[in-house]
Structures are given as structure tokens and as C-alpha cells.
Structure 1
Amino acid sequence: MGRRIGLAFLALVITLLFGTTGLMVTEHLSLAQAFYFTVETITTVGYGDFEIKSDAGHVFIIILMIGGAGVMLYFAGLMMAFLIEGQLAGAYGRRKMNKKIEQLQDHIIVCGAGRVGKQVLYRLRKEGHPSVVIELREDLAQEFIEEGYLVIHNDATQDDVLKKAGIVRAKGLVTALPDDSLNVFVTLTAKGLNPNIQVVARMDRLESENKLLRAGADKVISPAILGGWRMAMSILKPISIDYIETVIQDHNIEMEIMELKVDQGSCLIGRTLTTSGIKQQTGAMILAIVRENRVISNPSAQEEILERDLLIVLGLRDQLRLLEKVAANHTKLKPVDFG
């Protein structure tokens, strides 16, 4: 469509130049008069304020009326089609996107698609987790629509907007707006609409942390603090930081951290980390055990796994999927031979 409009516009410009030059030659009009009469002719307005006097002028005007009017009508038709199709496509696209959002369950809502929100969305996509972004700036909203994200172009502080994003069905919400007061307001609103939703909030000023926690945020993150820590560690312990970044960011390694809840009936209950065979048979490594709000870091090999424990596990993607399947399906691992 764009190429056709460009060619039609070029043809229109050539027609205007042709008509203006021809009238200046045949009727001896000034540049302004010739251009005006050319536009008047090809738009079929015909005010009658100019009179053609020569036979050559009459012949030229007939050619201009037939050819020029056709070019003008073609160009106008393309422009109308472009505008109408664009509006229809936009309306259809928004309707289709809204239907997809209405079907989401346990998704993540990201409020704000700026520098921080953008990285959150990219990570969620890499992990394959469904998400909806709410962004007020039209250019950012359009950018993420073109990248295939589900986007609501509106104000995230409004109740109706959060409801439209499926706040009641959502698993979590990340508020990464550039102003701490807006993040406090979004947190309050989100918790009011869904008290069980997990909220992670961005903060820029240290004094905002308590306000966000009182508003109901489950976790408050400062990009400045994290960035400063990372820069300091990159100076003090560059090899360790490079390794961690490689593990986390290298797509080829596919190393991940998983939270595995030990449910009732799991084959892992009552076994120690050694006798469970997790490390030996899946290759995954237990980093910590969260038990009744207590964190057991670097648990010993003789630590017993209890029902409702939350295992923090590190491993390759396939290793974690295997462990998850074993725990979920209550399938016993092979006994570990210590003989």
C-alpha cells in the first residue's frame, strides 16, 4: 500500500508540473495562475474564473482534465483506503488483543514499559511466562505491540485499567513506573482489587521503601542499589560476577533457578538430600530450603525434606523439568547405592 501511495503521489506531482508548464506556454499565464488553474482542473472544481482563448489551450485542457482528474481520483482513493483500512485494522487488532488478555490466567502484569519495565518483560518472555504491559506513553505502547506483547495503552493507576488487564486472575504485578508515588498508588490499588496478588515494586528513593511495603508490596527493588552492588562486585570479584552473569544470561547454557513446592504425597517427603537421589539422578542442586518462613541455606546432605518445604533448586532446564515431573507425579527415584 505504501509503495502504491508513493507512486500515485509522484504521478500527481508530475501532473501538476505538466499542467502548470503547459498553461504557461499555451495561455501565457503567470506561474501562480497556471498552478491554480491546474489544481482547479484536476480536482474538477471548475470555478470558471479563467477562460481558455487559444485552440492549443483547449486541446491541452482536455488532455489535462482526462489524465489529471484520473490521477487525482486515484490518489484520493488510495488515501481513503489507507485511512479506512488502518482504522479497521487498528480496531480489529485491539479487539483481538483484548480477547487474548481476557483468556489469561496466572499471568504477570507489568506497569510501565520504560528502562526497567522493558527488561522485566524481556525476561518474562524468555521464561515463557504470559504477561500484560500497561503503558501510558503511546510510542512505547506501539513499540511493544509491534514486538508481539499484549499491551494496554492507558494509565496503570486507574482501577478499570487494572481490571482490564485481568488483575483478579493475575499471579503477580510488577510496578516499574518512574515515580515512587505512582508505584505506591498502583500497589495500593492492586492489593485492593486482589489481596492475594504478588506485587514487586520499583523504588528510586530509599525513603520510599517503607511506604511501598506499607502499601502492600511484597518486594521492593531499587535498580540503583542493585546496579551499584553489581558494579562494586565487578571490581572486587570480576571472575565470580562473570560466571554468575554467564550462567544467568547465556541462552546456550540454559541454567535456571526453580522453586519446587513439596506437596502432600510427594516421594521426596521423609528423605534426606542424600537418600532422595536428587543430585545423583537428576543433576539438579538444592541451594536452600524454605521452611515455615525460615531459610536453610546450603543445607547439609543429611537434611530431611518435609511436606510443604519449598526447595530452591539450581540446574539445567532439562534437569529441573525432570525433578519437577518426579515430584509432581509422586514417582519414586531409584534408590541410591552407597555400598
Structure 2
Amino acid sequence: MEKRIRLAFLALLVTLIVGTVGLILTEHLSLAQAIFLTVQTVTTVGYGDIEVHSNSGHALLVLLMLGGVGVMLYFAGLMMAFMIEGELAGAYGRRKMNKKILNLQDHIIVCGAGRVGRQILYRLREEGASCVVIEKQEDLANQFVEEGFLVINSDATHDETLKRARIDKAKGLITALPEDSLNVFVTLSAKGLNPAIHVVARMDELETEKKLLRAGADKVISPAILGAWRMAMSILKPVSVEYIDTVIHDHNIAMDMEELRINKSSCLVGKTLVNSGIKQRTGAMVMAIVRENQVISNPAAEEMILEGDLLIVFGLREQLHRLEDVAANLIKLDLENI
């Protein structure tokens, strides 16, 4: 619609210029008189206060009546439809949303807003993560726009679409398209445009996992396998599964899990877990330490915290916030009284 309006406006502008110049040359009118008579003609107003005397002038006005009036009516019809259908507001909203997307940094791109992608987006919103969704189906895209998400209504397999989503500035991409082949293609494109981006890919068929990993996916997840595992555990260990679900999904319980990177300036560097005071002062529990791609699960109290370690911690949200300050060396623990 916007393209047609631009073309119609251009045609109308050309018609007005041709009519104005033609009347100046044929009738020797002033610029103001020529513009006035041309607009009178194409708008079918016709006050009759300016007379045309030459045959060439009459011929020009006939052409304006036949062609110009048609162009004017077509443009007016498009504008009326544009406003009635609410596309004017939609176009303004899209431009505003595109500006927000252009300013994104360290965001997450979600390709596909189907059943899986929808749940991903809702979870990311709950966690306060900045994200943009790419969805090909217009009705789904409009639905998520109404829900306040940043949406690009296009094909995620196109490089240009990923560039519009600011993939060069994104920290992660989740491809949750319904076909494994499309997820492989998106992964290849994403890694080609930004080799450092972290890609999580959805798979349905088991044999697709190796292809996605070869394409550059950092993590491959099957919703079917995860769902089956959870259903089996719900039968075998119902209390444990219910507890985990309550902790993770119940918003009335402010429990959460966090990943904390230890920088060289942190006051925790060089201390053991027992001497760090993490548990004693913050209440958070260190579940694991990731060190040079090695995972140390349930680390011992004597395990030393080194620069570059990634601590996986569990606790109440306020405990995790306090530990974030500690890890960033914003708060020094009083270790002498521990």
C-alpha cells in the first residue's frame, strides 16, 4: 500500500509540473496563475476565472482532464483507504519500532514465533531480556506487535532480514522454526554474519543434531525430547519435579538461577568457596563452576575461585543481586567474622 501511494503521489506531482509548465508556455500565464489553473483542472473545481485562448492550451487542458483527474482520483482513493484501514497508524508504528531495533545491542534474536517460539519470547520477557522476533506469517507478526514485542515480518533465512535484526550487535540467536532444514540454514547464515554470536537451535529429528552442530549451533534442543523426559520424571519422581516447577515457574517464590563471570578485579579471585563468604553472607549456593569449558559440578568447599570462572548460583533473587555486587567488587565481604 505504501509503495502504491508513493507512486501515485509521484504521478500526481509530475502531472502538476507538466500542466504548470505547459500553461506558462502556451498561454503565457504567470507561475501562480498556471499552478492555480492546473490544480483547478485536476481537482475538477473549475472556477472559470482564468480563460484559455490558444488551441494548444485547450489541448493541454483536455489532457489534464483525462489523465490528471484520473491520477488525482486514484491518489485520493488510496489515501482514503490508507486512513480508513488504519495503515497510517500502522506505518508510523513500524517506523517507530524499526528505530528501536536499530538501537538494540546485546539483544536476543528469536526466529519463529510458533508454539515453541511463543513460549521462548514470554520467558525472555519475564527475565527482562531485550529481544526481537522474526516471523514470516503476517498474522502472527501482527499479534506479537500488539503484545508489545519488537517484530520483523520477514523470512529469517534471508541475510538481509538478520541484518535488519542487528545480528552484528546481538549476543544470541534462537532459531525455533518448524522445519529442521530452515533451522540449519538460519544457523549457517547467523554464524556467517556474526561468528561470535551464541546460537541455540531447535530440532525435531535426531539426525539433524549433527548437522546443526556442524552448521555452527552452540546448543541444539529438542522440545519433544525435553517434554518426554519431563513427563517420565513426573511419573517416576513427581514430588521432585513439582518442586523444581514451583521454584522455576511460581512467581510468588523469588528463587532463580544466575550465571556470574568472575573478573580479575573481583574480590573473590584467589579465595576458596568456604573463605569467599558467598554462602554465609549472601545465602546463595554455588551449584557449579565452569572453567575453560570444564564443568565442576557441586564444587567442594576448598575449590578456589579463579579469574574468568563462571559461577552458576542458585538462591533468592535478592541473594543473587547481592552476590552480583560482590562478584563485581562493589561490596567487600567482612571475612574476618566468618
TM-score interval, smaller chain = 0.7 to 0.9
**In the alignment, which residue of structure 2 is the partner of 1:12?**
none
**In the alignment, which residue of structure 2 is the partner of 1:181?**
181
- Tell me the distance in 2 between the aligned counterparts of 1:234 and 1:240: 8
Secondary structure at 1:313 match in 2: strand
Structure 2: which 5+ residue stretches go unaligned?
A: 1-76
Q: Quote how far apart the aligned CAs of 1:331 are.
A: 3.1
Question: In the alignment, residue 133 of structure 2 is paired with which amino acid?
Answer: V
Report the structure number with the largest CA radius of gyration: 1
Deviations 1:286-331 (A, max 9, x none): 0001111111100111111111111000011111111111211353
Which runs of structure 2 are paired with 1:174-323 in the superposition (5 Å)? 174-323=174-323
Confirm or deny: 8 A CA contact 2:286 2:312 kept in the other structure: yes
**In the alignment, which residue of structure 2 is the partner of 1:73?**
none
Q: Quote how far apart the aligned CAs of 1:85 are.
A: 6.8
Q: Quote how far apart the aligned CAs of 1:336 are.
A: 5.0
**In the alignment, which residue of structure 2 is the partner of 1:159?**
159
Query: TM-score under structure 1 normalisation?
Result: 0.75
- Tell me the distance in 1 between the aligned counterparts of 2:305 and 2:95: 49
Confirm or deny: 8 A CA contact 2:265 2:328 kept in the other structure: no
How many residue pairs get aligned? The number is 262
Q: Does 1:146 align with 2:146?
A: yes
Which runs of structure 2 are paired with 1:128-143 in the superposition (5 Å)? 128-143=128-143
**In the alignment, which residue of structure 1 is the partner of 2:331?**
331
- Tell me the distance in 1 between the aligned counterparts of 2:123 and 2:269: 33
Secondary structure at 1:329 match in 2: coil
Secondary structure at 2:322 match in 1: helix
Deviations 1:95-122 (A, max 9, x none): 0000000001000000000011001100
Deviations 1:194-242 (A, max 9, x none): 0000000000000000000000000000000000000000000000000
- Tell me the distance in 1 between the aligned counterparts of 2:214 and 2:113: 24
- Tell me the distance in 1 between the aligned counterparts of 2:254 and 2:194: 34
Counterparts in 2 of 1:139 and 1:336: CA distance versus 1, 3 Å: farther
Query: TM-score under structure 2 normalisation?
Result: 0.75
**In the alignment, which residue of structure 2 is the partner of 1:95?**
95
**In the alignment, which residue of structure 1 is the partner of 2:9?**
none
Q: Quote how far apart the aligned CAs of 1:82 are.
A: 7.3
Confirm or deny: 8 A CA contact 1:275 1:336 kept in the other structure: no
Secondary structure at 2:274 match in 1: coil
- Tell me the distance in 1 between the aligned counterparts of 2:84 and 2:223: 44
Deviations 1:31-69 (A, max 9, x none): xxxxxxxxxxxxxxxxxxxxxxxxxxxxxxxxxxxxxxx
CA RMSD of aligned residues (A): 1.7
Deviations 1:255-292 (A, max 9, x none): 11111111012100111111111011111100001111
- Tell me the distance in 1 between the aligned counterparts of 2:311 and 2:329: 17
Confirm or deny: 8 A CA contact 1:110 1:121 kept in the other structure: yes
Which runs of structure 2 are paired with 1:103-142 in the superposition (5 Å)? 103-142=103-142
Identity among equivalent pairs (%): 72
- Tell me the distance in 1 between the aligned counterparts of 2:236 and 2:170: 40
Confirm or deny: 8 A CA contact 1:141 1:152 kept in the other structure: yes
Find runs of 4+ consecutive structure 1 residues off by over 4 angstroms. Answer: none
- Tell me the distance in 2 between the aligned counterparts of 1:264 and 1:215: 34
Secondary structure at 1:201 match in 2: strand
Confirm or deny: 8 A CA contact 1:265 1:330 kept in the other structure: no
- Tell me the distance in 1 between the aligned counterparts of 2:88 and 2:252: 42
Question: In the alignment, residue 112 of structure 1 is paired with which amino acid?
Answer: G
- Tell me the distance in 2 between the aligned counterparts of 1:215 and 1:292: 23
**In the alignment, which residue of structure 1 is the partner of 2:55?**
none
- Tell me the distance in 2 between the aligned counterparts of 1:207 and 1:82: 49
Question: In the alignment, residue 272 of structure 1 is paired with which amino acid?
Answer: T
- Tell me the distance in 1 between the aligned counterparts of 2:246 and 2:218: 28
- Tell me the distance in 1 between the aligned counterparts of 2:143 and 2:316: 33
- Tell me the distance in 2 between the aligned counterparts of 1:185 and 1:321: 39
- Tell me the distance in 2 between the aligned counterparts of 1:139 and 1:168: 28
- Tell me the distance in 1 between the aligned counterparts of 2:248 and 2:168: 31
- Tell me the distance in 2 between the aligned counterparts of 1:166 and 1:267: 36
Q: Quote how far apart the aligned CAs of 1:185 are.
A: 0.2
Q: Which moved more, 1:326-335 or 1:172-181?
A: 326-335
Question: In the alignment, residue 180 of structure 2 is paired with which amino acid?
Answer: D
